[in-house]
Structure 1
Amino acid sequence: MAEGLAAWAQRAATGHLAVGRLVREAMRAMEAQGLEDVDPDEAAEVVERDPALTLHVVGAANAVEHRHLDSEVGTVRHAALMLGTARLFPLARTLPVDDEVLRGDALEGYRHAVARARRAAVLARDWARQRGDQLPEEVYVAALVPFAGELAAWTWEPQAMVAVEEAVSDGIAREDAEYIVLGCALARVSAAVARVWGLPPLGVQALDPANALQPRTYGVMLAAELGAALDRGWADPVARATLAQAAAWLETGVTALEGRARELLAEAGLAVPESVPPPPRAHYALAPRPDRYAAALAALAEAPPTPVDRAVELALDALHEGLGLNRVVYARLVRHGEALRAHRIRGTEHSPAFNRFELALLGGHLFAELVERGGCLRVSAADEGTWRRVPEAVRELVGVPVFLTAAVRRRGEAVGLLYADRRHPDLPISGDEHARFAAVVDRLEQTLSAG
């Protein structure tokens, strides 16, 4: 995984995303007027029509030396002013045009990704305005960052992305399809690209599920999820659920929010179908990779006890990449040990509600007992006594009848909890996988307790 992400980062250092032809021509026409006659606001408006150009312009502004600024450039207008027309227009000219570098399914896929990103940005900005955000234009740019990896992959590895879309069409969950074909989630590619290009912190924060409880970041996450789900129409179950989550967050009605979203997207030329036939549901278990399991365990044994997140990431690598468990979550203790909150995840990158879940350790339920007493369990609905002790909210959230979970302790004191499952209710978890899961927990605790 590390080598894969390093390769994406290396590609980002010299690679460019593709811009749409209409925006390229609009920039050329504006440049032809004469640089001294260009209104920065008008230039920013044109740039904002294209996610690829927006990301490049904002990244370029943050790379300008001697900016004399204490904070990152987060809006297109600010970036255009920072670059000036003498640098803005040459930058736009250097980017490839989508229909010149992509063909057929790859071009269609790239344009769908562009539409998803634009929908997310338009919605995120409007929701920010509804919440009284002081910088809604910053939120607009931030909502594009989660799509940076997808746009990069379509531009640089189009056939791989065609394979991802084919897997999704066959009913495989998008998170699983990304991992199967690319070896990692596109959210991690987005993070790698964002670091290289110096994209705004708010967008980068939206890539980390640990930030789902921060209102501003959560809005970006919801907008990104809805922007993607609307590919399948307004009637899509994920779109409906995300609209409901956004309405609750904004404290408004679902009908009113949907009506406003429909109007805004139509004005932006981003038509959404009412419904699209859903793909067949595929029950796909990720293939275990013993070499990655062993490598992650070895790295975990050598890892220093701090920072804790590094050790946790290695444990998640062992479980997700090594054992092939579809969803893996590390929840840490918060509120002085009175609750668990999702902190690091694999396989739920497109599930803001899942990542935002927080569980109070009250009432003597299964997880409260685990944190208090320790242990590593394979929990199954077939064991009715144990299953009744799983909080109903957790059973509804995970939607599977069997999962693995364990308390994580540091020098005997609980610091968090690991959870893993196969995502699909029909996929089993074996006793051998339980044992290997326990071995990862044991190694993680040894590392955290060292020193």
Structure 2
Amino acid sequence: MTALSGIDSWTAFLADRDPPVLRHTAQAIASARERIDRINVREIAGIVLHDPMMTARVLRFSAAHRGRRQLQDLSTVEHAVMMLGVEPFFHHFAQLDVIEDHLKPQALLGLLQVIRRAQRAAHFALDWATWRCDLNSEEVAIAALLHDLAEMLLWCHAPDQALQIQALQKADHTLRSADAQSAVLGFPLHDLQAFVCRKWELPELLLTLMDDVWERPRVKNVKLAVDLARHTAHGWDDPALPDDFRAIATLMNIDEETLQVRLGLKKAGEEDARDA
């Protein structure tokens, strides 16, 4: 790729490209196409939501092809597929670039680590939103899934820069992600993501939920899920976890023991059994 300078150039570079998808996603969609007369919208959405890149691709396509009478953004994949229709979905997404075919092993590993983190964040966010009786928990899960979309796009389309950022952070574990990104790119990825998402006309609600503003419970839900996924990426011994647990328990209005049971860190009644 040619050298890019400034956030506008980077926005144009990333926004002009369709995100590639995981090989598993492409295979699952091809298999689902063979059952086109029997498959339903929810099954298709389940395939899409397993892959943050495919999720972004579907929401981008939906926004670009929104009908004139459609006043509201489609902020969930299920609604987007429903409005598009099953047969048109398979027609429009018949040809998909596969991530594993384009990246060298080191860059592929870096991307897959971010995707796995995003999947875990979405799982946490959905569980907590459901517990909180959120009226649309899928929106919260999608916001967590796409929270680090710009980082994924960088690994896909500019792996050399992504590797440079990774090297800086490995050399200095106290270096904040935003500072490492600014050192390599000249700006943090959070800013780039906002520009790309607006270029793609992704739903305003999702942009708000991904913005890390702490005033609203749904935004807290997303932010805390992303934090927990990041802090547990290499195990459950990160020093930030006690603060995470306290904040999550407060959000869910439960005690920390109950939270750790929900997270699978303890079995129900484990503390009582030890105290008896």
Report the TM-score, using the length of structure 2 for normalisation: 0.87
Q: How many Å apart are 1:157 and its aligned residue?
A: 0.6
Match of 2:189 in 1: 186
Q: In 1, Cα distance between the equivalents of 2:94 and 2:169?
A: 34
Counterpart mapping for 1:306-321 below 5 A? none
Deviations 1:257-278 (A, max 9, x none): 2332348xxxxxxxxxxxxxxx
Question: Alignment partner for residue 203 of structure 1, among 198, 203, 206?
Answer: 206
Q: Kindly provide the amino acid, as one letter, of the partner of residue 205 in structure 1.
A: T
Which runs of 5 or more residues in structure 1 are unaligned?
Answer: 264-451
Q: In 2, Cα distance between the equivalents of 1:115 and 1:96?
A: 19
Q: How many Å apart are 1:216 and its aligned residue?
A: 1.1
Higher RCO (Cα < 8 Å, 6 or more apart): 2
Match of 1:232 in 2: 234
Match of 1:107 in 2: 108
Which deviates more, 148-157 or 60-69? 60-69
CA, structure 1 residues 241+91, in 2 after alignment: closer, same or farther (shift >3 Å)? farther
Q: Identity over aligned residues, as a percent?
A: 29
Match of 2:87 in 1: 86
Q: How many Å apart are 1:91 and its aligned residue?
A: 4.0
Question: Alignment partner for residue 246 of structure 1, among 239, 248, 268?
Answer: 248
Q: In 1, Cα distance between the equivalents of 2:223 and 2:209?
A: 6
CA, structure 1 residues 163+93, in 2 after alignment: closer, same or farther (shift >3 Å)? farther
Question: Alignment partner for residue 20 of structure 1, among 19, 22, 28?
Answer: 22
SS of residue in 1 equivalent to 2:263: helix
Q: In 1, Cα distance between the equivalents of 2:22 and 2:103?
A: 11
Match of 1:50 in 2: 51
Match of 2:269 in 1: none
Question: Alignment partner for residue 223 of structure 1, among 222, 225, 228?
Answer: 225
Which deviates more, 173-182 or 106-115? 173-182
Q: In 2, Cα distance between the equivalents of 1:158 and 1:70?
A: 38
Match of 2:170 in 1: 169
CA contact (8 A) 2:197 2:207 kept: yes
Q: Kindly provide the amino acid, as one letter, of the partner of residue 184 in structure 1.
A: F
Higher fraction of helix = 2
Q: In 1, Cα distance between the equivalents of 2:60 and 2:258?
A: 35
- The ranges of structure 1 where at least 4 consecutive aligned residues each deviate by more than 4 angstroms after the TM superposition are none
SS of residue in 1 equivalent to 2:93: helix
Counterpart mapping for 1:36-435 below 5 A? 36-66=37-67, 68-170=69-171, 171=173, 172-209=175-212, 211-262=213-264
CA, structure 1 residues 17+261, in 2 after alignment: closer, same or farther (shift >3 Å)? farther
CA contact (8 A) 1:149 1:188 kept: no
CA, structure 1 residues 67+252, in 2 after alignment: closer, same or farther (shift >3 Å)? farther
CA, structure 1 residues 52+67, in 2 after alignment: closer, same or farther (shift >3 Å)? farther
CA, structure 1 residues 72+261, in 2 after alignment: closer, same or farther (shift >3 Å)? farther
Q: In 2, Cα distance between the equivalents of 1:111 and 1:92?
A: 22
Q: In 2, Cα distance between the equivalents of 1:10 and 1:36?
A: 39
CA contact (8 A) 1:55 1:144 kept: no
Q: How many Å apart are 1:207 and its aligned residue?
A: 4.1
CA, structure 1 residues 212+173, in 2 after alignment: closer, same or farther (shift >3 Å)? same
SS of residue in 2 equivalent to 1:38: coil
Larger Rg: 1
Which runs of 5 or more residues in structure 2 are unaligned?
Answer: 266-276
Q: Kindly provide the amino acid, as one letter, of the partner of residue 108 in structure 2.
A: L
Q: How many Å apart are 1:93 and its aligned residue?
A: 3.6
Which deviates more, 212-221 or 12-21? 12-21
Q: In 1, Cα distance between the equivalents of 2:239 and 2:92?
A: 41
CA-based RMSD: 1.9
CA contact (8 A) 1:121 1:223 kept: yes
Q: In 1, Cα distance between the equivalents of 2:214 and 2:54?
A: 27
Report the TM-score, using the length of structure 1 for normalisation: 0.54
Higher fraction of strand = 1
CA contact (8 A) 2:21 2:99 kept: yes
Q: How many Å apart are 1:32 and its aligned residue?
A: 2.0
CA contact (8 A) 2:161 2:184 kept: yes
CA contact (8 A) 1:63 1:198 kept: yes
SS of residue in 2 equivalent to 1:132: coil
Match of 1:434 in 2: none
